[in-house]
Amino acid sequence: MAAKTTVQDAYDQVLKRNPGETEFHQAVKEVLDSLVPVLDRHPEYVRAGIVDRLVEPERQVIFRVPWQDDKGNFHVNRAFRVEFNSALGPYKGGLRFHPTVYLGIIKFLGFEQILKNSLTGLMMGGGKGGSDFDPKGRSDDEVMRFCQSLMTELCRHIGPDTDVPAGDIGVGGREIGFMFGQYKRIRNEFTGVLTGKGLDWGGSLVRTEATGYGLVYIVDEALKAQGKSFDGLTVSVSGSGNVAIFATEKVQELGGKVVTLSDSNGYVYDPDGIDLDAVKRIKLVERGRIREYVNAHKNAQYTEGCSGIWDVKCDVALPCATQNELDEAAAKTLVTNGCIAAGEGANMPCTPEAADVFLENKVLFLPGKAANAGGVAVSGLEMAQNSQRLPWTFEKADAELKKIMVTIYKNTSEAAREYGCEGNFVAGANIAGFLKVANAMLAQGLV
Ligand code: NDP
């Protein structure tokens, strides 16, 4: 069968089987479009039905999470774990707690995770999970009761050699701690079943910083290939969570000036450069809102609403908040304002139309699959340390992270060149990630 027909049939089947799951459709379409030249060259993948199997999760679990708030009221949330593909290792991917979570979001993230994990070169399959629970405004006790209830069911499906969840939006060290404690209690096992753990009980140094640092390492590598660097560049970052904060930290270390940050209510613009200590205090210690930044920074402005953030003139854009936050109009504005590079810290923050604008205008565009793989890479290193029962130093973990990000850049650009689309890192990441998974699936037979 011709490669184009294979891809179209697989996509039609995804639309039919997963109605209304628009984010999942979007993620699948982008990958399948890139794979046509690969399937043309490798008819054995077509014969073995690799693409049809890749787009269908190996297993999906949906369950009820009942919990009680501090006033004694009962609540019910819905939780998901999608175990997408285990060709390269145990399922691996984060848990997201956010009111917008539904099966389509978890599937899009789980699907992306297969290829992202493959790109890291570590032994990890792809999965993702989460719940429509909103931790915002909840007390620590409420979050603990929710996490314990969720893990009471989830512990039946995960394990250090089966499926190893981590954090994502709304799931940080606090939530991982509560879930780990409940898993340990029910299973009577102290194992590396979750990553992102506290440093005293199995966590890895650099895991907290990994996604943001990794993003900046790979964008820096791409800039270097063009004889440029972050030094002296103005950078717009969106979000003010884990990824945004540590991307900002690394950009500043490399001599760049970050001028924006945001949350789901609005964004701040500080022409003097973001004061990161103040942001860390507001967001990580006080769990406050980004608007509070302007109280102590006279030249900074706060704007309600998020979309205007990309109107701020910058050399590099690093969207680090959430999916589809940077659309075609925003990409055009960035191009007009002279933006030379965009790196996705978040998962799929640029719409397909925005990505096309960057590609057409020769803006260096590094897609999330490659650019934010640093987080899961250090999660993989955390699993290795847990198996060895030996913690690594910060320097060792950071050096490994950097090496992995540089390798991802090289493999991605080489795959793009080999398949006739030099400079297109979207296609390059999809192809490089896919080839390893496809070969493993082929070797493991029809499972
Ligand atoms: P956090 O929960 O720490 O922070 C998320 C940030 O994005 C917050 O500032 C949040 O604002 C903002 N945000 C969330 N939803 C929206 C929305 N609908 N509109 C505007 N802003 C929003 O999450 P992370 O920093 O961990 O994750 C950010 C992105 O990076 C996600 O796409 C995640 O999947 C991806 N990612 C994260 C990794 C990690 O290691 N943490 C690894 C790889 C990818 P508010 O506080 O108002 O909700």
Q: In the chain, what are the domain boundaries? A: 2-54, 63-191, 210-371
Ligand 1 centroid to residue 61 C-alpha, Å? 24
CA 241 – CA 135 distance, rounded (Å): 14
Between CA 382 and CA 202 the distance in angstroms is 8
Q: What is the pLDDT of residue 2?
A: 84
Active-site residue flag, 283: no
Is there a shared CATH topology between the 63-191 domain and the 210-371 domain? yes
- CA 429 → CA 368, 411, 434, distances in Å? 9, 8, 8
Mutate to test the pocket of ligand 1, among 209, 237, 242 (most ligand atoms within 8 A of CB): 242
pTM: 0.96
Q: Is 367 in the pocket of ligand 1 (CB under 6 A)?
A: no
Q: Which CATH superfamily is domain 63-191 in?
A: Leucine Dehydrogenase, chain A, domain 1 (3.40.50.10860)
pLDDT for res 264: 94
Specify the residue for token string 């493999």.
Answer: 411
Q: Is the CB of 264 under 6 A from ligand 1?
A: yes
pLDDT score, position 238: 98
pLDDT at 116: 98
Which of the residues 107, 128, 283, 402 is marked catalytic?
128
* Residue with CA at minimum distance from ligand 1 atom 15: 322
Two structure tokens written together for 229: 């660097």
pLDDT of residue 219: 98
Q: Which of 215, 263, 284 to mutate to test the pocket of ligand 1 (most atoms within 8 A of CB)?
A: 263
CB 127 within 8 A of CB 106: no
pLDDT by position in tens, the chain (length 447): 688 999 999 999 999 999 999 999 999 999 999 999 999 999 999 999 999 999 999 999 999 999 999 999 999 999 999 999 999 999 999 999 999 999 999 999 999 999 999 999 999 999 999 999 999 999 999 999 999 999 999 999 999 999 999 999 999 999 999 999 999 999 999 999 999 999 999 999 999 999 999 999 999 999 999 999 999 999 999 999 999 999 999 999 999 999 999 999 999 999 999 999 999 999 999 989 999 999 999 999 999 999 899 999 999 999 999 999 999 999 999 999 999 999 999 999 999 999 999 999 999 999 999 999 999 999 999 999 999 999 999 999 999 999 999 999 999 999 999 999 999 999 999 999 999 999 999 999 999
Give pLDDT, residue 254. Answer: 98
For ligand 1, is residue 239 a contact (CB within 6 Å)? yes
Quote the Cα angle for 33-35-38, to 5°: 150
Please report the atom of ligand 1 found closest to the CA of residue 239: 9
- Tell me whether residue 427 is exposed, middle or buried, using C-beta atoms within 10 angstroms of its C-beta: 0 to 12, 13 to 18, 19 or more: buried
Cα(10) to ligand 1 centroid in Å equals 30
Topology (CATH level 3) of domain 210-371: Rossmann fold (3.40.50)
pLDDT score for 307 = 86
The verdict on the CB of residue 101 being under 6 Å from ligand 1 is no
Contact in structure between 258 and 235 (CB atoms under 8 Å): yes
C-alpha to C-alpha distances, 213 to 168, 172, 220, 250, 369, nearest whole angstrom? 16, 17, 10, 6, 15
DSSP-assigned beta bridge partners for residue 165:
93
What CA–CA distance (Å, rounded) separates 345 from 212? 7
Report pLDDT for 312: 98
Span 2-54 CATH architecture: Orthogonal Bundle (1.10)
**CB of 95 shorter than 6 A to ligand 1:** no
